[in-house]
Structure 1
Amino acid sequence: MRTSLRGAVAMTAAVLAPFLMAVALLPLRTSLTHTNLALLFVVVVVAVSALGKPLAGALAALSAAAWFDFFHTEPYQSFHIHDRADAETAVLLLLVGLAVSQLAARARVLRRVAVSDAEHLERLHATSRLVRSGDCSADELVERIREDLVEVLDLRGCRFVHGSTPAGGPLPRLEPDGSLRVEGWIWDLDRQGWPDGETELWAVAHGHCQGVFMMTPVPGVGPASPEARLVAVDLAGLAALALDGQKDLVQP
């Protein structure tokens, strides 16, 4: 709900903010060069791009170029441009606005990924410290790690099956390198997303499978980042070590 509201606000701002800027600059259109006016419109595009998705930034760039043309190039109150230099400025405003909107969107994605990766690593470190401390039972650790996997991989659900691989046909399996193994298929997890049904994540310690996390993804939601999947593999490994009763993990 929050995301959709923010997106609606960004789209509204993409249309209205350049228009309001164009109107506010009317008293200055004869005292400022068209290049300086265009730079002010770029500031508006950057502000809108920081709010929403790339589509909002692109729409803001189109709106800025249109209202710059309508209010600040001759003939005024017309979308025609007589002067070639003004036409070039309007085109450059559009192109720069589009480029800036995409860069801003990319920066938001990178910032979000960095924050998520830091949170996942902190989760892994906290669980590792808990394993070494010996303050809870193996079953309690497995339950905690099951909950961690739901958060890290953004799953709909996850259950743990003790022992070796569960009965039944081969299921998709998350491999130690974060890739997905699907029998009979070459599966590109990043491009194709999670397969339907459950996916296995083996809890392996010293070459022995102590159990399997049976993960159910949210339909229509893309896979977690490769870094998040590697954290998930390490969490499963911690569960296996706890179940294997590794006494050397307990601090003296």
Structure 2
Amino acid sequence: MLLAFDVGNSNIVLGVFKDDKLVTHWRMATDHNKSADEIGILIKQLFDYEKLSFDDIQDVIISSVVPHVMYSLQHMALKYCQKEAIVIGPGIKTGMNIKYDNPRQVGADRIVNAVAGFRKYGGPIIIVDFGTATTFCAINEKCEYLGGAILPGIKISSDALYERAAKLTRVELIKPDRIICKNTTQSIQAGIIYGYVGSVDYIVRKMKEELGGDIRVVATGGFSTLIASESDLIDTVDRFLTLDGLNIIYGMNRTRRNA
């Protein structure tokens, strides 16, 4: 079995693959202060619930945009799984030609998403990942990563409004039934959610104009279902795109690793 970690600024999503099939997954808060042992014990509890064992894990792969968490995760893999984790970064085979000005500046999660999106849906494709930041990535029919855009995440936008406006309260990010709302809570929800949908669709529309042709738009990440339910341009929601990408990249690097 393969244990895969997608480490984001707000959450760590981890999944277990058996014979290229995602058999279980979990989401936990990203905590810079957790030690390798604390992470290991937490994962053991998750494994026990699913009747899994660290002995079942044949390899570990990590994609991370949070450098401070990496030592603890890598040490946890060594101590509890007796495996040196594969880390997405320079030297890892992805099959993706990165056309960024500086390829090292592209977040690991964006590359993993691009690999999975192209493998699963072909190209050209636009991938929108709704995380702490919302990222837009464009991949052409030649499996070339062309670049994209980065937007503050919907939760960051909501928190900023609460923190900067004295009389406005923090609200749950759920979609109200109307845009003309009759109370402050729903007015904030309508403005944030429908306004965010508008921002996403505008960016996607402009990216489509630059790419040209028939382009599939795939959404992933925590708020993908919420935004896609109102978007005119998102074709597919794939909640586990990043985990699938980690499994695909592991397959590309397995032979060299075992050589």
Band the TM-score falls in, shorter-chain normalisation = under 0.3
Query: TM-score under structure 2 normalisation?
Result: 0.21
Higher helix proportion: 1
Specify the structure having the higher radius of gyration (Cα): 1
Structure with greater proportional strand content: 2
